[in-house]
Amino acid sequence: MPVRIDPHADILIAVDVQIDFCPGGALAVPRGDEVVPVINRLAERFDHVVLTQDWHPPGHSSFASSHPGRAPYETIELSYGRQTLWPDHCVQGAPGADFHPELAATKAELVLRKGFHKAIDSYSAFFENDRNTATGLAGYLRERGFTRIFLAGLAFDYCVLWSAEDAWRLGFQTVVIDDACRALDIHGSEAEARRRLAQASIEVLAATELEPA
Ligand code: VGL
Ligand code: ZN
């Protein structure tokens, strides 16, 4: 069913469209760079755009390199529960943490950085992985009167999924724009993400299903 973009209530959130998540990057999402032209076209159609930026200090607890004897993609128990270990990525100030050079970032009204607490990872744009530490984004969106959130970016099955679930739980209408995302797909995580979105009745649309206001 087509959805009409409401210029006042709707906001596009482009998640982690950074060099390290694109082919050639430290934590490359297969075909991750393909989201860039799709998101750029979407950004022209929304009045409001927010970008998120994964932004880890060196030695971050989500890096396998911070846990001697551990390898990327293994899971460990941290103080807040299970955590997947990743290659070092999106280190604050490093070139890999920059947005993809072709991403149309100029229009963004907010760049929300996340993952900067050394001991806590943050997939979601709303809450860190302890599921308790807020990023402040919900307050920002509410205070500005946005009620519907359209999500795009990387990775579909991690940061986009967790952001969508939190947005929905927080009471925002939530839409994931499928062809504006790409998945890491580790151990079936893409199929699992689709199951979880369906479970929450979070809409998953194609960019072509959005109509201009
Ligand atoms: C992400 C793993 C680690 C993401 C960020 O943006 O999906 N995934 N950090
Ligand atoms: Zn990260």
pTM of the predicted protein model: 0.97
Cα 211 to ligand 2 centre (Å): 33
* Strand 210-211, strand 3-4: pairing: parallel
Spot the catalytic one: 33, 90, 121, 159. Answer: 159
Give me the tens of pLDDT residue by residue for the chain, a chain 213 residues long: 789 999 999 999 999 999 999 999 999 999 999 999 999 999 999 999 999 999 999 999 999 999 999 999 999 999 999 999 999 999 999 999 999 999 999 999 999 999 999 999 999 999 999 999 999 999 999 999 999 999 999 999 999 999 999 999 999 999 999 999 999 999 999 999 999 999 999 999 999 999 865
Which letter, b or e, does each residue of 136-150 get, where b requires 16 or more Cβ atoms within 10 Å of its Cβ? ebbeebeeeebebbb
**CB of 29 within 8 A of CB of 183?**
yes
**CB of 118 within 8 A of CB of 57?**
yes
> Which residue do the tokens 């970016």 mark?
153
Spot the catalytic one: 10, 114, 157, 166. Answer: 114
How does pLDDT run across 24-83, given as a tens digit for each residue? Answer: 999 999 999 999 999 999 999 999 999 999 999 999 999 999 999 999 999 999 999 999
- Note if 159 is an active site residue: yes
Cα 213 to ligand 1 centre (Å): 32
Give the closest ligand to the alpha carbon of residue 27.
1
- Note if 114 is an active site residue: yes
Helices (H), the chain: 35-45, 137-143, 161-169, 189-199
